[in-house]
């Protein structure tokens, strides 16, 4: 989720201890803080830092040079002139016939001459600014763990830790003819999770299949569905079709006191699957399922032609957010002037950290005379 100049996860990782990162208690406050600091940076630098496709810049037409307010510039798609409100905006045709030269790195547009008088306006439509991931990349880890007879617990350690505790879905697969044993997954951490069994496994041949994931995307879909009384199967259709047949895990969730009945996915396609039950299902059962693109680790990649947000600006944003977060009052409802003060401050009044201000001075957009 876009939090200003990074994601909500960036802020949680920087500002919260690990025990709080998986909770949503502070999400709204962190988002407001991150976006507020990003706006403060825009004001200080006299520019808009974040990349935008189809941005528009409007100014007087009686000039031969214009510095756009988002840069680096990737492309200028249209230049229009308005001499009067009655006439409205008039497209000037091919951009290269109007634009003499362009310094993409600083957003400087140079024209062959004046495009109009002081009463005329020019509107430039373009794509520019620094790109950064505005959503947390969807990360999916999955695996299968062979279990031994008598086991009462399984411990799963991720090959690489998540930044915060992920969501986890697990299913215990019994061997042919094996007794079905219910499982109780423990609260996951960033490093792994435990699954406890309702009874010691009666034999070898059991397998724990699991997935752990962060983010929401069409590479992973999950839901629950009510099961009709005496049903022996249930057909599931994914909300969004996959590009290729996904991996599927499913569990029948029994009501209080209900018998545990196994469920196995079959006929898995790009649009859905069929859950087969080991026995007709009594009333009150729910099928919980999860489908994911096999081996998917979705990452938001830099668009062609775009420029990534410089590391110094990302560091400045996180540093200023951290400084502001430390000034919140004990109730967590506002920014305070100091540890013992209750005078509320706005982000506009919050003083920039000296090293942040030093970084921002290297990114200021200066005006030029026409």
Average of pLDDT values for 303-309? 88
- Evaluate whether 209 touches 175 at the Cβ level (below 8 Å): no
Average of pLDDT values for 57-66? 93
316-363: per-residue pLDDT in tens? 999 999 988 887 644 444 443 333 333 444 555 668 899 999 999 999
- Give the pLDDT band of residue 368 (cuts 50, 70, 90): low
99-146: per-residue pLDDT in tens? 999 999 999 999 988 988 889 999 999 999 999 877 655 567 778 889
pLDDT at 96 over 60: yes
Q: At what angle do helices 311-325 and 27-45 cross, to 10 degrees?
A: 120
pLDDT at 216 over 80: no
Tokens standing for 327?
Answer: 């000034």
- The Cβ of residue 96 has, within 10 Å, a number of other Cβ atoms equal to 9
Average of pLDDT values for 265-275? 93
pLDDT value of position 135:
62
CA dist 91 and 80 (Å) reads 4
Buried b (16+ CB within 10 A) or exposed e, 164-177: bbbebbbbbbbeee
- Evaluate whether 303 touches 326 at the Cβ level (below 8 Å): no
pLDDT at 13 over 60: yes
Q: Which residue has the higher pLDDT, 159 or 248?
A: 248
- Evaluate whether 52 touches 77 at the Cβ level (below 8 Å): no
pLDDT value of position 335:
43
156-190: per-residue pLDDT in tens? 998 877 766 788 888 887 787 777 677 777 778 88
pLDDT value of position 112:
86
* 341, 347, 349, 350: CA torsion to nearest 10: 70
CA dist 349 and 57 (Å) reads 28
Query: What proportion of the chain, given as a percentage, has pLDDT over 70?
Result: 86
- Give the pLDDT band of residue 304 (cuts 50, 70, 90): confident
- Give the pLDDT band of residue 282 (cuts 50, 70, 90): very high
Q: Name every residue whose Cβ is closer than 8 Å to that of residue 341 and which is 6 or more positions away in sequence.
A: none
CA dist 172 and 209 (Å) reads 6
């Amino acid at each position: 989720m876009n939090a200003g100049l990074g994601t909500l996860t960036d802020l949680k990782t920087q500002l919260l201890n690990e025990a709080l990162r998986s909770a949503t208690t502070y999400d709204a406050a962190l988002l407001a803080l991150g976006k507020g600091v990003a706006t403060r940076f825009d004001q200080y630098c006299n520019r808009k830092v974040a990349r935008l496709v189809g941005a528009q810049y409007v100014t007087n037409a009686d000039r031969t040079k214009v510095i756009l307010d988002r840069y680096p510039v990737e492309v200028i798609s249209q230049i229009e002139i308005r001499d009067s409100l009655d006439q409205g905006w008039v497209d000037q045709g091919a951009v290269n016939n109007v634009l003499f030269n362009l310094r993409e790195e600083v957003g400087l547009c140079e024209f062959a001459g004046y495009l109009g008088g002081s009463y005329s306006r020019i509107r430039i439509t373009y794509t520019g600014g620094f790109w950064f991931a505005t959503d947390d990349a969807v990360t999916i880890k999955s695996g299968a763990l062979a279990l031994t007879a008598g086991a009462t617990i399984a411990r799963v350690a991720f090959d690489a830790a998540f930044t915060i505790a992920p969501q986890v879905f697990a299913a215990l697969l019994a061997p042919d003819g094996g007794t079905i044993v219910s499982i109780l997954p423990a609260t996951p951490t960033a490093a792994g999770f435990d699954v406890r069994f309702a009874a010691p496994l009666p034999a070898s041949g059991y397998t724990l299949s699991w997935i752990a994931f962060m983010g929401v995307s069409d590479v992973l879909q999950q839901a629950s569905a009510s099961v009709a009384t005496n049903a022996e199967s249930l057909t599931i259709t994914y909300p969004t079709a996959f590009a290729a047949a996904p991996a599927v895990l499913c569990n029948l969730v029994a009501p209080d006191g209900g018998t545990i009945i196994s469920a196995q996915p079959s006929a898995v396609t790009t649009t859905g699957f069929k859950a087969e039950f080991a026995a007709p299902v009594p009333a009150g059962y729910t099928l919980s399922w999860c489908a994911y693109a096999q081996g998917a680790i979705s990452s938001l990649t830099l668009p062609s032609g775009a420029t990534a947000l410089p590391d110094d600006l990302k560091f400045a944003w996180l540093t200023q957010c951290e400084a502001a977060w430390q000034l919140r009052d004990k109730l967590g409802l506002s920014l305070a002037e100091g540890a013992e003060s209750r005078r509320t401050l706005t982000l506009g009044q919050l003083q920039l950290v000296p090293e942040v201000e030093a970084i921002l001075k290297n990114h200021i957009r200066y005006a030029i005379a026409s």
